Amino acid sequence: MSDVTPAATDEPAVPDIDLPSDAFDAVLDALADREAGDPLRFEGFSVVRSGEDDEKDSASAEDTAGGYVLVDGDRRTGLSERELHEALAEHAPAVTDWYVFERVVGEFGPRRAFLRWLEDADGATVAARYAALAEGIERAWGELTITATVTDRGERRYDVRHADDDGVPIDELDAYDDPLDARDLVTLDEKGRYRPLKTAPSLAGGWAFPDLGPRDAYEAVETIYPATVANWHREREGELDVNHWRETMARQSGIYGVVKTWDRGEGHEHVDWVAEACCDDSQCLKRREWQYDDETDLDVDGGDGVFPCREPCSVVVSAARKWTRLESEQPRTYEFELTPSEKEQVEDIIDAVADGRIDEIREADTKEGANRYRTRFLRAKLFDDEGNLGGVPAEPEGDGEE
Amino acid sequence: MQSLVIVAHGSHLNPESSAPTYDHADTIRATGAFDEVTTGFWKEEPHFREVLRTVEGDEIYVVPLFVSEGYFTEQVIPRELRLDGWDVSEWDSDGLSADQATLVAEDIGREVHYCGPVGTHRAMTDVIVRRAESVTGDPDVGDDFGLAVVGHGTERNENSAKAIEYHADRIAERDRFDEVRALYMDEDPEVDDLPEFFESDDVVLVPLFIADGYHTQEDIPEDVGLCEDHTEGYDVPETVDGTRIWYAGAVGTEPLMADVILERAADAGADLGTALDDVRETTRVATGD
C-alpha cells in the first residue's frame, strides 16, 4: 500500500495512507460519545450516527448495521461498521489527521499549538500537508531543526537535532529515543563548560532524536529549551504576561533586594547596558519582550528569536546584583601612559573577551591585539609587582574608601 | 490528571546541583504514580516563575526539595509560583511541621497543593540512616558506630538547626548507633571538632544538604580535616585524630529521597497506589558488594 502514485503535476503527491484500526476505533468511540445526529467533522466531510440506531441495542457490531451516515460530496446512508470503515479508508488522510491531533496530541494548549504549527495545520489542507510531510517539513526552534514526517498509517514522526547537523546521516550522530536524555545533552557546551542558560546559543551538536512521536517531540523541545513553547503559545494567544525590569527588580528579596536601588529615576541607560550585555541574540536566543517599564522601552534591540522572553531571567538578576554594587562606585581619574597601539590593544582584548573569541586567536598571530603573547608583553611592560596597570593602584594609598 | 512538580534551588555554576532533582524525578516517574513529573528551579530552567505553565494536570502537587522551612519555602517559592493569598500561617508550622496548603496559582488559575520541604518530613530520618548504610556498604551499620548529622547553624536560618536536631533525636531514639550527634557549620557544637564529640572509633558524617556543592565538597571536608585542600580529595573512611570518619556527602543524593518527595505529596492527598513500597524496594542498599 505504500506504492507512490506518480504525480500528474508538479504538485507533491499525497502519499497513500492506510486507515489503522486505532484511528477507526477512535472514530467509533467519538461517535458513540455523541448524540445521534451530532456530526463528527473531518476536513471535507462528516460522519453521523443515525437516530434509529438509538432504538436498537448497539452492543455488537451487527446491531449497528446501517447506523452510520457519511456526508461528503454525496450522502451515503445506512452504512454498517464495515462499510463505514471502507468509506473512511477512502478519506484516510483526513481521518488519521483528526486522530493524531484529537487523540494522540491531546488538548494541552502549548503542545497542541506547537505540533500544529510545525506542519501549518491551521493553514494548509490535509492533502497539502500530507504531501509536504511525505517529503519532510522542517522548522527551526532556537538552534534546533525539527523535521516532521508522516508514516503510511498517518502517524507523525519527528526528527529533532542541532541545526548544524542538518543532513548528517543518523549513523554519524548519537541517536536517542527518550526525550529526558536531552537533559544531559544541554548541560555542557561543546568545550565541556556548564551552560547556566538553556537558551544560550551554545547548544552542542552531534546527536539526534531521529524518530519521536508527537508527545515525545514536544517533550524533547521543552527539555532542551524549557518553557519556550508555553511562552510562545501564550504570546500567540495574546496572553503573554510580560514583567518589565522595574517590577521584576522590585519583587526581588534577600541578597537580590539591592538591585532595585540601581534604578534611581535617572533613566534606563544602565538597563540598556544589561540587555546589550546579556540579552543580545549572540548571548540568548529568546526574543526580549520586557522593557524598562510599561511605558519606557529600552534603546537596544530585543532580538529575532522565535520564542519570547517575558521577564529578566535569574542569570540577569544575579549579574545585575553584581553591577548594582560595582556601579555604586564613583569614577576616579587615573594617570598613566599608553601608546596608541596599546590603547587599541586594550580595546581588542575587551572585544575578544566580550565576543567569546579568545579561543579563535592563534597562538602566533601577533597581529591580533588579544593574542596571548601580545597580552603577556603588555602585562610585562605595564604592570608593577602588585599587578597594577601603569603602576597606579586602584585605590590610592591612604584612601580608606572601599 | 495528577501532576508532581519538584522545585529545587539549582545553580548557575555547578552542573551537579540539579542532578539529584532529576534523579528523584526519574525514580518517581518510573513508579507511574503521577501522570507527569516535572522539575522547576530558582537558578535553572524552567524557573519557578514559569514551571507551572508547563504543567498539564489538574491535581498539582508542588514539593520543595529543600532541607528546612525558611526563606525559600516561606517567601521565594510561594511568591515566584504566584500562590494567591499565601501567608506562612497557611502551614501553621512550628518550623518543622509544615504539611501543605492548597492555593490558586495565579499563573495558571488552577489550584496547587504546596507541600512542606522534604528535609523536615519524618521519612527524612530514614534517608539519613540509609545514607549511612550506603556510605559504609553495610545495611546493618550501627553497632560500634557513631552518627553525626550536620547542617548550617541558626546563623542563616533558625529552622535549619531544628531540622538537624529533630532527625538526630529520632535516630538516637532507635538505639541503632552507639552515639548520635547534631553538629553545625557555623555554631557550637561545630563539625570542625567532630572527634571530640564521639567516643566511637567509627563515625558516619551525613550532611543534611540537598545537593553536593561548595558546602559538602569543599567546606565540610576541609573543616573536619578530611583533607587540607578539597582538590586533594579524601578517602572514605578517613582517619582524623584517631576517629575513622565515613563522609557521606549530601544526603539529598541518596536515592531513597524519592520516598520523602512521595510522602509529601501523599500527605497532601495524592493518590500513589503502590509507589511508596516500590520506591523503598528499588532504592534499597544491596547486601555486601
Mind listing the pLDDT tens digit for each residue in B33-76?
Answer: 999 999 999 999 999 999 999 999 999 999 999 999 999 999 99
B69 found inside a domain: yes
Backbone region of residue B55 per phi and psi (left: phi > 0; alpha: psi in -120 to 50; beta: other values): beta
Q: Are strands A75-79 and A137-141 parallel, antiparallel or unpaired?
A: unpaired
Q: How far is CA B229 from the centre of its chain?
A: 26
Number of domains in chain B: 2
Q: Are strands A68-71 and A45-49 parallel, antiparallel or unpaired?
A: antiparallel
CA distance A90 to A180: 38
User: Strand ranges (DSSP E) for B73-200?
Assistant: 100-105, 110-115, 141-151, 179-184
Q: Do the Cβ atoms of B224 and B240 come closer than 8 Å?
A: yes
Nearest CB to B56 within list A108, A196, A253: A108
pTM: 0.93
User: In chain A, what are the domains?
Assistant: 21-96 (no CATH), 106-234 (3.30.1360.190), 241-326 (3.30.70.2320), 333-402 (no CATH)
Averaged pLDDT, A182-195:
97
Average pLDDT, chain B: 94
B288 found inside a domain: no
B49 found inside a domain: yes
B172 found inside a domain: yes
CA distance B186 to B203: 20
Which grid coordinates are listed for B96? 518543622
B268 found inside a domain: yes
Amino acid at B2: Q
User: According to the model, what pLDDT value does residue A401 have?
Assistant: 46
| B184 and B230 co-located in one domain | yes
Provide, rounded to the nearest whole percent, the portion of chain B with pLDDT above 90: 86
Binning pLDDT at 50, 70 and 90, where does residue A266 land? Answer: confident
User: According to the model, what pLDDT value does residue A2 have?
Assistant: 42
* Contact check, Cβ <8 Å, A231/B50: yes
Average pLDDT, chain A: 93
pLDDT at A376 over 90: yes
CA distance A157 to A170: 15
* Closest chain A C-alpha to B56 CA, distance in angstroms: 6
pLDDT at A55 over 60: no
* Contact check, Cβ <8 Å, B53/A251: no
Return the residue in B16, B43, B48, B54 with the most chain A beta carbons within 10 A, the one to mutate for interface testing.
Answer: B54
* Contact check, Cβ <8 Å, A196/B44: yes
B276 found inside a domain: yes
Cα nearest neighbour of A199 on chain B: B45
Binning pLDDT at 50, 70 and 90, where does residue A318 land? Answer: very high
pLDDT at B127 over 50: yes
CA distance A286 to B58: 29
The tens digit of pLDDT for each residue in B182-226 reads 999 988 999 999 999 999 999 999 999 999 988 999 999 999 999
B43 found inside a domain: yes
User: According to the model, what pLDDT value does residue A297 have?
Assistant: 98
| B248 and B271 co-located in one domain | no
| B242 and B213 co-located in one domain | yes
CA distance B289 to B286: 7
pLDDT at A1 over 70: no
Which grid coordinates are listed for A43? 476536513
* Contact check, Cβ <8 Å, B50/A234: no
Chain B within 8 Å of A180 (Cβ-Cβ)? yes
CA distance A12 to B187: 75
Q: Do the Cβ atoms of A136 and A149 come closer than 8 Å?
A: yes
Peptide bond into A210 cis (omega under 30): no
| B152 and B249 co-located in one domain | yes
Binning pLDDT at 50, 70 and 90, where does residue B156 land? Answer: low
User: According to the model, what pLDDT value does residue A52 have?
Assistant: 57
| B110 and B20 co-located in one domain | yes
Q: Give kind and range of the element (H or E) at residue B175.
A: none
User: According to the model, what pLDDT value does residue B159 have?
Assistant: 83
| B249 and B260 co-located in one domain | no
Question: How are strands ordered across the β-sheet holding B238-240?
Answer: B179-184, B141-151, B202-207, B243-247, B238-240
Nearest CB to A226 within list B12, B42, B46: B46
| B44 and B136 co-located in one domain | no
| B47 and B146 co-located in one domain | no
CA distance A250 to A240: 20
Averaged pLDDT, A360-371:
97
pLDDT at A238 over 80: yes
Q: Give kind and range of the element (H or E) at residue A65.
A: none
The tens digit of pLDDT for each residue in B214-270 reads 899 999 999 999 999 999 999 999 999 999 999 999 999 999 999 999 999 999 999
| A261: three-class secondary structure by DSSP | helix
| B98 and B217 co-located in one domain | no
Nearest CB to A254 within list B13, B56, B71: B71
Binning pLDDT at 50, 70 and 90, where does residue A95 land? Answer: very high
| B128 and B248 co-located in one domain | yes
| B38 and B72 co-located in one domain | yes
B67 found inside a domain: yes
Averaged pLDDT, A316-335:
97
Q: Which residues contact B7 (CB under 8 A, 6 or more apart)?
A: B39, B40, B41, B42, B48, B51, B62, B63, B64, B65, B77, B81
Give Cα separations from A313 to A279, A305, B278 (angstroms). 10, 16, 38
| A225: three-class secondary structure by DSSP | coil
* Contact check, Cβ <8 Å, A222/B45: no
Q: Give kind and range of the element (H or E) at residue B99.
A: none
Binning pLDDT at 50, 70 and 90, where does residue B287 land? Answer: low
Which CATH number does the domain housing residue B54 bear? Answer: 3.40.50.1400
| B190 and B112 co-located in one domain | no
Give Cα separations from A265 to A256, A260, A294, A298, A324 (angstroms). 19, 11, 15, 14, 14
pLDDT at A4 over 50: no
- What residue numbers bound the domain in which B149 lies? 123-253
pLDDT at A60 over 80: no
